């Protein structure tokens, strides 16, 4: 069974979490937390595990999830925001592409409906040919 980490260990971890949360450029990694707290990996691991299993008034797991958003992504809030905006931009481009395809289909339907309403007595005209009627082909 793991021994309970000291209150000083928990306080150092809380202080490091607070510092990471205040710095928008700081990476949200436990390695960075260990450097800021000045505590070795086994001790930090033991503290997080003890807090998860037994609960402590320091609530380091809750605080950590609060600043990381429960994500294991190793990015700062600015990087996460940039990634979110890039995802939104990609979704918008896909939606625009879909809307353009729908518009093209609607335009084709409108033109074909208009052509059906035209009298059949007129000669066909080439588009871009200065409106000259086609002459019938002779073999």
Could you tell me the residue range of the domain that residue 38 belongs to?
7-74
pLDDT at 97: 95
Q: Give the pLDDT of residue 37.
A: 93
For residue 40, being part of any structural domain is answered with yes
Q: 125 phi and psi, to 5 degrees?
A: -125, 135
Judged on CB neighbours under 10 Å (0-12, 13-18, 19+), 12 is buried
The confidence band for 49, taking pLDDT boundaries of 50, 70 and 90, is very high
Give the burial class of 21: count Cβ atoms within 10 A of its Cβ; 0-12 exposed, 13-18 middle, 19 or more buried: middle
Q: Is the pTM of this model over 0.85?
A: no
Look at the chain and report how many structural domains it folds into: 1
| Across 6-10, 23-27, 68-72, 77-81, least confident range | 68-72
Q: Please state, in angstroms and rounded to a whole number, the distance separating the CA atoms of residues 7 and 15.
A: 12
- Does residue 131 sit within a domain? no
Domain assignment present for residue 11? The answer is: yes
In a domain, 17, yes or no: yes
Query: Token pair of 27, please?
Result: 């990476």
Calculate the average pLDDT of the chain.
Answer: 84
With bands split at pLDDT 50, 70 and 90, how would you rate the model's confidence at 115?
Answer: confident
Q: What is the mean pLDDT of residues 81-91?
A: 90
Alpha-carbon span 12 to 38, nearest angstrom: 8
φ and ψ at residue 133, rounded to 5 degrees = -70, 150
3-state secondary structure of 46: helix
Does any domain span residue 126? Answer: no
């Amino acid at each position: 069974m793991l021994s309970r980490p000291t209150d000083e260990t928990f306080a150092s971890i809380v202080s490091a979490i607070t510092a990471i949360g205040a710095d928008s450029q700081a990476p949200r990694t436990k390695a960075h937390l260990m450097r800021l707290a000045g505590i070795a990996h086994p001790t930090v691991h033991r503290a997080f595990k003890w807090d998860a299993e037994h609960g402590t008034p320091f609530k380091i797991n809750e605080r950590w999830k609060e600043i990381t958003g429960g994500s294991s992504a190793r990015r700062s809030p600015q990087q996460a925001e940039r990634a979110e905006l890039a995802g939104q931009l990609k979704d918008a481009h896909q939606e625009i592409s879909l809307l353009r395809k729908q518009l093209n289909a609607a335009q084709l339907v409108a033109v074909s409906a208009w052509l059906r309403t035209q009298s059949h007595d007129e000669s066909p005209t080439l588009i871009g040919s200065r409106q000259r009627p086609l002459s019938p082909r002779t073999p």
